[in-house]
């Protein structure tokens, strides 16, 4: 028996996932990328067993923030057989990260609602919402990509981009030159996604 964390007759899916992740990390089947692949298995498993509707669940932030405890808990499994300690750590990670992901999703939706008004006011264009949707999909982009995207006439796209930059909604990270467009960012969205001020 691998773990006494759950009754054999009705396994808990999250505990199964904790065991799966620990076993994968213990095997180290590849020369490189074990951690990344092990973390990729988490949303895939959650999706496969129907706990999430799409295979998207970001847990790496918790593991990075608690790196020492993460490695120590994994080591304690192979060293001491401490499956219970590992399961407890993993379940706390899932709960904390799920709450954080939910807060970020709500903050992104709130930002979108706020920016619907702002983009229309700043651009004074019928394309304002289209621009908003575009930058929400690509919060860092080259100005040349935006002007070439086709759904807005090129001259209008340049004017709208300039207006949003002048207003401070968008920020130039790197000036363009020659055929290479400037690198532009949407800091408000990046700040939410990263959980820190990246502007």
pTM given for the model: 0.73
Looking at residue 179, its pLDDT comes to 76
Q: Does 184 score more than 50 pLDDT?
A: yes
Q: How confident is the model at residue 30 (pLDDT cuts 50, 70, 90)?
A: low
Each residue's pLDDT tens digit, 71-116: 999 999 999 999 999 999 999 999 999 999 899 999 999 999 999 9
Confirm if 22 and 12 have CB atoms less than 8 A apart: no
- Cβ of 195: how many Cβ atoms within 10 Å? 13
Q: Does 6 score more than 50 pLDDT?
A: no
CA-to-CA distance for 162 and 125, rounded, in angstroms? Answer: 13
Closest among 57, 135, 156, 49 to 101, alpha carbons compared: 57
Q: Does 199 score more than 90 pLDDT?
A: no
Strands 171-174 and 140-142: unpaired
């Amino acid at each position: 028996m691998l773990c006494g964390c759950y009754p054999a007759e009705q396994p808990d899916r999250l505990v199964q996932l904790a065991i799966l992740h620990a076993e994968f990390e213990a095997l180290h089947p590849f020369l490189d990328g074990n951690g990344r692949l092990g973390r990729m298995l988490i949303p895939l498993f959650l999706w496969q067993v129907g706990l999430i509707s799409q295979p998207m669940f970001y847990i790496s932030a918790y593991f990075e923030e608690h790196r020492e405890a993460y490695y120590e808990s994994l080591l304690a499994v192979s060293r001491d057989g401490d499956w219970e300690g590992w399961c407890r750590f993993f379940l706390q990670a899932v709960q904390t990260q799920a709450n954080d992901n939910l807060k970020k999703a709500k903050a992104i939706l709130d930002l979108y609602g706020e920016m619907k008004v702002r983009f229309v006011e700043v651009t004074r264009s019928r394309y304002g919402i289209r621009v908003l949707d575009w930058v929400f999909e690509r919060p860092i982009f080259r100005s040349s990509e935006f002007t070439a995207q086709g759904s807005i006439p090129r001259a209008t796209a340049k004017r709208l981009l300039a207006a949003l930059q002048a207003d401070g909604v968008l920020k130039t990270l790197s000036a363009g030159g020659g055929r290479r467009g400037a690198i532009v960012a949407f800091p408000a969205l990046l700040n939410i996604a990263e959980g820190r001020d990246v502007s």
